[in-house]
Amino acid sequence: MHEMGIGEKGLETAKKHKREGNKPNLRNEGQKVIMQVENLSKTYTQGKIPVHALRCACITVRKGELLAIMGPSGSGKSTLLALIGTLEKATEGKIILDGTDLTSVPEKLLPGVRREKIGFIFQHYNLIPTLSALENVELAMRFSGVPKKERKERAKALLDDLGLGDRLNHKPTELSGGEQQRVSIARALANRPALILADEPTGEVDSKTRDSIVRTFKELSEKGQTILVVTHDPEVAKECSRVLRITDGVIKDY
């Protein structure tokens, strides 16, 4: 692992640790803890046989970390993201994100909390085919109380930043895979979430596009955006500030 992508403050601490002969800081030490996962477990019951998809996971994530989650198929990666993303209920344990205990939010309030705190990026982009790039990003803000004019301005600025300023009115089918993924990144950022969750975001693109998506993630993390990315690709993981490995539902953090 190297030191890129940990933000200026993290880099300074890393240099200090190096001078002092300590382990270099790759975990944004000195940055605030944005998420604390405590003893998180998920057991699915299929008929009579329980499947322990996640066992007693403990993870501390600091603001601005770009964190990779790797592990074989069926090891529990998507389960972990689904729990953090409040799409599934934990069997046991806690998830404190940005001061809110996600595991104790009443069902009725979950959509609002999810919208406000978490941005999702999927392998297959999940854009709405009948809407333009601009409208896809705007839509994410429609139920968040952002006034219409601001929605449009924010969507345009995000797409501009991601190099899609001249693709605002293109529909998803009129965009390349990499461009569609960029629109979905803009959509994930629209509500200024505390955390972005990405499940295999580079699974469908060529290596050049993959590299540009990873570069975008690194730039965002350097600006303080926290990102968790599930990936099978060592080239993606090696650009991250930390890698969590998961096997049979058990997480190893190093």
Ligand X SMILES: Nc1ncnc2c1ncn2[C@@H]1O[C@H](COP(=O)(O)OP(=O)(O)OP(=O)(O)O)[C@@H](O)[C@H]1O
Given a contact cutoff of 8 angstroms between Cβ atoms, the answer to whether 98 and 35 are in contact is: yes
Integer Cα distance of 52 and 24 in angstroms: 35
End-to-end CA distance of the chain: 10
* Candidate list 13, 28, 31, 78; residue touching Mg ion; CB under 5 A: 78
| Per CB under 5 A, 202 contacts Mg ion | no
Helix (H, G, I), strand (E, B) or coil at 252: strand
Contact by Cβ (8 Å): 96, 33: no
* Binder of residue 79, out of ligand X, Mg ion, none (CB less than 5 to 8 A by kind): ligand X
Residue 202 as a binder of ligand X (CB under 6 A): the answer is no
Write the binding mask 124 to 163 for ligand X: x where contact by CB under 6 A, - elsewhere. Answer: ----------------------------------------
Q: Which does 181 bind (CB under 5 to 8 A by kind): ligand X, Mg ion, none?
A: none
Question: 49-62 and 33-46 as β-strands: parallel, antiparallel, unpaired?
Answer: antiparallel
Q: How far apart are CA 164 and CA 93, in angstroms?
A: 41
**Residue number with CB closer to Mg ion (78 or 241):** 78
For the CB of residue 123, give the shortest distance to Mg ion in the complex, in Å. 9
Map the footprint of ligand X across residues 69-128, applying CB under 6 A: 71, 73-79
By CB under 5 A, tell whether 231 contacts Mg ion.
no
* 23 CB-side CA count, 13 A: 7
Q: Is 62 helix (H, G, I), strand (E, B) or coil?
A: strand
User: From the CB of 223, what's the least distance to ligand X, in Å?
Assistant: 28
Residues 23-62 that bind ligand X (CB under 6 A): 44, 46, 51, 53
Where is 188: in which H helix or E strand?
helix 177-189
Cα separation, 92 vs 90, whole angstroms: 5
181 binds ligand X, rule: CB under 6 A: no
* Closest distance to ligand X from the beta carbon of 120 (Å): 15
111 binding partner (options Mg ion, ligand X, none; Cβ < 5 to 8 Å by kind)? none
The residue among 78 and 221 lying less far from Mg ion, judged by its C-beta, is 78
**Nearest CB to Mg ion, comparing residues 162 and 188:** 188
By CB atoms closer than 10 A (0-12, 13-18, 19+), residue 19 is: exposed
Which positions touch ligand X (CB under 6 A)? 44, 46, 51, 53, 71, 73-79
